[in-house]
Amino acid sequence: MLGCPNRCRHCFVGWRPNPKLTESDLRFVAEAFRPYAKTLTVYDWNREPDFGGDYKEKWELCKELSSPDRPPERFELASVWRLARDGEYAPWLKGLGVKYVQLTLFGGEELTDSFTGRRGAYQDILKAIDVLLENGIAPRIQAFVNKQTVQELYKVEELIDRLELEKRCESIGIPFACFVHQGSCDGEGEKLYPIWVTSDDLEKIPDKLAKYTLKHFNKRTIQEVFGREERELYRELIEDDTTESLGSTAPAVLYIDGEFNVTPNIGVPSEPWLLGNLKTDGAEKILDRLKGDKSPAQYVRATVPLKELVRDCGDPESKRLFGREDYIEYLLNRYCRREAQE
């Protein structure tokens, strides 16, 4: 988990310091877990990939430390900060076979800078779009929707038209991709709950962005993309007395922060999900805690029925939109925080 130049207001992994990540740190982590893993895949980031100056060496190191049949993948993520500054970066990405890089907008320049938590973020995105296209990589645009940003989505549409992104992507032989969604209501994103998108906002999404979004998610209606109203989910969950063991069903995908604290990727890298510290507890104890639902959040989910979570933390009147699983995770995180405060 090296670092990130941004402090996005929707950030589900939360804001943390940007620690220095050395080669020996990565080797230590990989070797600690290797005896317990049939296959191991190592990444040096879960925030902005390639933000560190030694990104090429780190990529090679992650490949070396991963099992030969499970090497790290690239996905659609890359460092926008670096694309705008490092002339060697886009050609390097192209050489790895990257087709798309995702860029995140929240509306116009001021709003995008504000929600990304960094002045100049929007200008970096504009530069990144040109650099990517010059190198035969397509920009994939995502825009986050909430009560504030929905008012400015027309500016995202205008930008796509002004920069002729459909045509320019076509000229490099890659279809243009774009989508809007609300993100997940956890980590820093939970603070956006007061301005969370509601069903009344969906009609404000410009037609063209809605069309791209349906194509991207292969859905028939924009409502299907954004999920259901909280009040509807509340009515369903208030009758639900099930619990779930997350640790016994989830694959072991772990976040390890700069201080070697370990959390599972089924939750947010924060206190309620903490499994232990790799330096002081060791891998075996951490994996036992994962499997045995011992992190506080896993324990709550395994022992407290959904109806209790929603009764204590849900809003039966709210028209905010959530996918079912995202809503359960939001309830779980709120419940854990309330318990910790009591």
Single out the residue of 13, 42, 143, 297 in contact with ligand SF4 (rule: CB under 6 A): 13
> By C-alpha distance, which of 174, 176, 178 is closest to 99?
174
Q: Residue 290 interacts with ligand SF4 (CB under 6 A)?
A: no
Our CB check for ligand SF4 shows the closer of 44 and 48 to be 48
Segment near ligand SF4 (CB under 6 A); pick from 6-14, 136-144, 196-204, 333-341: 6-14
Bridge partners, residue 263, by sequence: 255
> By C-alpha distance, which of 144, 201, 237 is closest to 321?
201
Shortest Å, Cβ 272 to ligand SF4: 19
Pair of tokens at residue 100: 């798309």
Q: Residue 84 interacts with ligand SF4 (CB under 6 A)?
A: no
Shortest Å, Cβ 208 to ligand SF4: 25
Cα–Cα distance for residue pair 274/282, rounded to 1 Å: 13
> How many residues make contact with ligand SF4 (CB under 6 A)?
8
Shortest Å, Cβ 45 to ligand SF4: 9
Q: Residue 192 interacts with ligand SF4 (CB under 6 A)?
A: no
Our CB check for ligand SF4 shows the closer of 8 and 274 to be 8
Single out the residue of 42, 43, 47, 233 in contact with ligand SF4 (rule: CB under 6 A): 47
Our CB check for ligand SF4 shows the closer of 126 and 304 to be 126
Segment near ligand SF4 (CB under 6 A); pick from 8-16, 85-93, 135-143, 249-257: 8-16
Single out the residue of 1, 2, 11, 332 in contact with ligand SF4 (rule: CB under 6 A): 11
Q: Residue 257 interacts with ligand SF4 (CB under 6 A)?
A: no
Our CB check for ligand SF4 shows the closer of 142 and 298 to be 142
Shortest Å, Cβ 173 to ligand SF4: 28
Shortest Å, Cβ 14 to ligand SF4: 8
Q: Residue 140 interacts with ligand SF4 (CB under 6 A)?
A: no
Q: Residue 137 interacts with ligand SF4 (CB under 6 A)?
A: no
Our CB check for ligand SF4 shows the closer of 2 and 90 to be 2
Cα–Cα distance for residue pair 332/266, rounded to 1 Å: 12
Shortest Å, Cβ 17 to ligand SF4: 12
Q: Residue 82 interacts with ligand SF4 (CB under 6 A)?
A: no
Q: Residue 230 interacts with ligand SF4 (CB under 6 A)?
A: no
Binding site for ligand SF4 (CB under 6 A): 4, 6-8, 11, 13, 47-48
